[in-house]
């Protein structure tokens, strides 16, 4: 029996963002996932950083598993040429299918949707529902305000300091590779 391929769920923006470094990092992440023989799990869009990660993984020969709700097929331009392409009825189903098919979660720069996905898996981790690594790729310091907010929540007594233990913050794709190699090997 062959061992199942490790899968990395990537949360990221459906836009490219304001800095070219975001797109460059997304390209590197897609290549990293493919070169390590892991499967990319993501939101199945062909726009923004989502599309960049998927196209880079595909170009490098990687397997891609995309999950998109029916109402976003046009908006996010559902990328139907993936290794696996799943259409769900709701956003909740999308997030569940993505998470259940991943061994680790990586968050690149993104907006409200990425934050929603991040806080859901972080809350599940805090509640002991999983032990999958959650890694923030802090390209050009993008996630510093988020980390400040998390420290504020802790300082104000709304979370235990252990909340920070559930998230790894890495500055670049080389550090991400090291973190994921340790978690997925």
How confident is the model over 82-99, as pLDDT tens digits? 999 999 999 999 999 999
The pLDDT confidence band at residue 2, using thresholds 50, 70 and 90, is: low
What pLDDT score does 106 carry?
98
Instruction: Give the pLDDT mean for 32-40.
Output: 98
Q: Show the 3-state SS of the chain.
A: CCCCCCEEEEECCCCCCCCHHHHHHHHHHHHHHHHCCCEEEECCECCHHHHHHHHHHHHCCCEEEEEEEHHHCCCCCECCCCCEEEEECCHHHHHHHHHHCCCEEEECCCCHHHHHHHHHHHHHHHCCCCCCCEEEECHHHCCHHHHHHHHHHHHCCCCCHHHHHHCEEECCHHHHHHHHHHHHC
Q: What is the pLDDT of residue 3?
A: 65
Is pLDDT above 60 for 157? yes
Question: 58-87, pLDDT tens digit by residue?
Answer: 999 999 999 999 999 888 888 899 999 999
pLDDT of 127 above 90: yes
Q: How does the average pLDDT of the chain come out, rounded?
A: 96
The domain at 7-184 falls in which architecture?
3-Layer(aba) Sandwich (3.40)
- Quick one: pLDDT at residue 75? 82
- pLDDT-based confidence at residue 159 (cuts at 50, 70, 90): very high
Q: What is the pTM of this model?
A: 0.95
Average pLDDT over residues 132-155: 98
Q: Are 159 and 125 in contact (CB under 8 A)?
A: no
* Predicted confidence band of residue 4 (pLDDT cuts 50, 70, 90): confident
Mean pLDDT of 139-165: 98
């Amino acid at each position: 029996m062959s061992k199942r391929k490790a899968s990395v769920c990537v949360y990221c923006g459906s836009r490219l963002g304001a800095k070219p470094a975001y797109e460059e990092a997304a390209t590197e992440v897609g290549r990293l996932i493919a070169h390590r023989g892991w499967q990319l799990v993501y939101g199945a869009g062909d726009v923004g950083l989502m599309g960049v990660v998927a196209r880079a993984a595909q170009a490098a020969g990687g397997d891609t598993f995309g999950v998109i709700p029916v109402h976003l097929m046009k908006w996010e331009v559902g990328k139907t040429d993936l290794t696996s392409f799943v259409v769900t009825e709701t956003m909740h189903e999308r997030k569940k299918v993505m998470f259940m098919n991943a061994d680790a979660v990586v968050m690149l720069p993104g907006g409200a949707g990425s934050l929603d996905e991040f806080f859901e898996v972080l809350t599940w981790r805090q509640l002991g529902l999983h032990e999958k690594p959650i890694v923030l790729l802090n390209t050009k310091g993008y996630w510093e305000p988020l980390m400040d907010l998390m420290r504020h929540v802790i300082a104000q007594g709304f979370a235990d300091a252990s909340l920070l233990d559930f998230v790894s913050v890495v500055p670049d794709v080389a550090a991400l590779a090291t973190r994921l190699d340790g978690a997925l090997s």
